[in-house]
Amino acid sequence: MSKNRHTIKQKALQLLFDWLGGAYLIATLHRIVWRVVLIGDSLPAAHSTLIANVPDWAIYALAGVLIAIAASVSGASLGLLVRGELSIGSWQRAAALHWASALLAVTFVTGWVVTNISLVDMFSGERIHAAGRIFSSLLTPHFAILPQALSAIVETVYLAFMATVLALPASLVLSFLSARNLMKDSLWKRFVYTVLRALTNFIRSIEPLVWAVIFTVWVKVGPFPGMLALMVHTISSLVKQYSEQIEDIDPGPVEAIASTGARPLQIVWFGVVPQVAIPFLSFTIYRWDINVRMATVIGLVGGGGIGTMLNQYQMLAQWHEVGTIVLVIALVVWVMDYVSARIREALV
């Protein structure tokens, strides 16, 4: 019964794979390779159709179905290939490999077209001249703004520090509640675990830059929204790192403490905490280091500190000053990186 369901699921997945692969191949061949590369259209508008009154996507989908059926009947299937079920040396495997290469090729062509790659734009005489102008300015920094840049980067470092420290309590509590090995023995614990995992994964998938935009609308522009953005991102990242570390512990001491009749909090404190304390400290220091780098980027959208200053001079096209700021950022990032690596080394 369950074995049967398993094979049905596998078969369905295989068909889905071949169908999507087929439809994608036909779609890109038509839209990109034929229309753009060979005919020379600009990216075709959606209403242009292969057959009157039938939307293109329906034709692609249908072609995909035909390809999936052909693949299934012949055995030259992408789905079977990725599952490693085509025997080496068979013609089906060779055909499926060709098909996979074709997918890779059209994806590369599409990518080239979509990103507007143009060697002319990069290396024509006029462009080379522009490149020379910005590099020569960047490489001859004006140090008049150095004091201002230094105070801005100090602001950035403190901002990153506050984001890390304020994220700590929530990260610690949530990480224990997000560790599978601690949350498996009752239904509601598994529920909390699942919800927290989903929530932190979701929050982490939103870039800190986007959080910064959100918080600059919420509270007004400046270092505060930048700090909030980093704090939110730090919580979601630390919860992941911490909880994975908790899941990695030796279960032996936990079992030993539990066998003495200890209470749940005592089991965690004596069985888990000693095993994760040092790695936690190391992750936290590394986060601060990462946050300094992120804080400079977040400053670009109004999150305060050196990033905001960089943004102002860049908009004024004062490239000598921009050069100074970049230099200061590079220096501080390098020092932070070096110091945090040394501290983390000393911890193990």
Hey, which residues between 113 and 152 contact another protein (CB under 8 A)? Answer: none
Residues listed for the chain: 348
Extract the tokens encoding 55: 């939307």
Query: At closest approach, how far in Å is the CB of 302 from another protein?
Result: 44
Q: How far is it, in rounded angstroms, from Cα 344 to Cα 348?
A: 7
Query: At closest approach, how far in Å is the CB of 267 from another protein?
Result: 8
Q: Where are the alpha helices (DSSP H) in the chain?
A: 2-28, 56-74, 78-82, 91-114, 119-123, 125-138, 146-177, 187-205, 208-218, 223-247, 251-259, 264-267, 273-298, 305-315, 319-347
Residue 186 touches another protein, criterion: CB under 8 A: no
How would you label 122-156 residue by residue, b for 16+ Cβ within 10 Å and e otherwise?
A: eeeeeeeeeeeeeeebbeebeeebeeebeebbebb
Residue 346 touches another protein, criterion: CB under 8 A: no
- 212-251 mask for another protein (x: CB under 8 A)? --------------------------------------x-
Extract the tokens encoding 99: 């098909």
In terms of CB distance, is 158 or 270 closer to another protein? 270
Query: At closest approach, how far in Å is the CB of 278 from another protein?
Result: 8
Extract the tokens encoding 302: 């109004």
Place of tokens 């009157």: 52
Place of tokens 């290396």: 123
In terms of CB distance, is 187 or 265 closer to another protein? 265
Residue 172 touches another protein, criterion: CB under 8 A: no
Query: At closest approach, how far in Å is the CB of 259 from another protein?
Result: 4
Hey, which residues between 252 and 281 contact another protein (CB under 8 A)? Answer: 252-253, 255-263, 265-266, 269-271, 274-275, 277
Query: At closest approach, how far in Å is the CB of 282 from another protein?
Result: 15
CA 245 to chain centre: 20
Residue 305 touches another protein, criterion: CB under 8 A: no
In terms of CB distance, is 180 or 204 closer to another protein? 180
> Binding residues for another protein, per CB under 8 A?
250, 252-253, 255-263, 265-266, 269-271, 274-275, 277
